[in-house]
Amino acid sequence: MQANEEQLIGEFLEGDGAAFEKINQFMGLMTRYDCAIREVRTKFEVLNEELSYKAGRNPIESITSRVKRPVSVVGKLKRLGKPITVESISENLNDVAGIRVICSFIDDIYKVAEMLSVQDDVTVVQVKDYIQKPKPNGYRSYHMIVEIPVFFSEGKQMMRVEIQLRTVAMDFWASLEHQMKYKKESADRPEIAAELKSCAETIAATDARMLGIRKRIESLEKQTEGQENGYSAIDGIKPFPIR
């Protein structure tokens, strides 16, 4: 926080030192969550870079992130019946730091999730696979809560980050569905909910078909490559080169 911001808040609180201290602690915690996001984002960027070099395509299309807004943090603590304190935030909330990883294909989601999980500074706290088991409304995504160490000036702190992995198509559905939730009166109507669910299923089927197409192309490329090298690449088994 900039010095003039501190001054402004101090003036706003009319010299209430205790409240000012709490705001300072809150801002400090939010900054630490922001740093945790950067650490996890870098891990995904590194994986994307390496996999793109190895496979000639990017498994990750884009990454977005956010630190939960103060009003949402307080709202969630209230909903959970937990104390509204700075300590309570890190004790009770897993999704203050959130990162969304948009992948090209369904198998990319599982590939990058697995590659992150096996890193020895990453602890997977929770996984919710809404791809294998979609929500009743049709929502699909792969959710993980991970804990990672972040090194600050006063030492190491374990920070939790919520990761949502989904395909471009799943993201398209979730973003529009999220927008329409705000128009509550129409979103609650069963025929609209059914239409939205049907769209989610069409999208899931399209995702599966796109993956099928990519796999067919890859297998054709392997065959051609094999023939060029004098190999026959049937079922991935490479016999001795034909002389």
Cα 60 from Cα 129, distance rounded (Å): 18
- Contact call for residue 139 and ligand 0O2 (CB under 6 A): yes
Structure letter (DSSP) for residue 133: S
Among all chains, which residue has been given the structure tokens 């030192």?
17
Structure letter (DSSP) for residue 69: P
- Nearer residue to ligand 0O2 within complex by CB, 119 or 126: 126
Contact range with ligand 0O2 by CB under 6 A, out of 9-17, 41-49, 152-160, 173-181: 173-181
Which 72-111 residues touch ligand 0O2, going by CB under 6 A?
95, 98
Dihedral of alpha carbons 82, 85, 88, 89, sign = positive
Cα 117 from Cα 26, distance rounded (Å): 29
- Contact call for residue 128 and ligand 0O2 (CB under 6 A): yes
Contact range with ligand 0O2 by CB under 6 A, out of 39-47, 55-63, 133-141, 196-204: 133-141
Give the per-residue contact string, 151-170, with ligand 0O2 (x = CB under 6 A; - = no). -------------x------
In whole angstroms, how close is the CB of 1 to ligand 0O2 at the nearest point? 24
Cα 137 from Cα 199, distance rounded (Å): 10
Cα 163 from Cα 142, distance rounded (Å): 8
In whole angstroms, how close is the CB of 128 to ligand 0O2 at the nearest point? 5
C-alpha torsion angle, residues 182, 132, 40, 50 (rounded to 10): -130
- Contact call for residue 137 and ligand 0O2 (CB under 6 A): yes
Q: How many residues does the chain have?
A: 243
Cα 188 from Cα 148, distance rounded (Å): 39
In whole angstroms, how close is the CB of 42 to ligand 0O2 at the nearest point? 22
How many residues touch ligand 0O2 under the rule CB under 6 A: the total is 11
Question: Under the rule (CB under 6 A), what is the footprint of ligand 0O2?
Answer: 95, 98, 128, 135, 137, 139, 143, 164, 174, 177-178
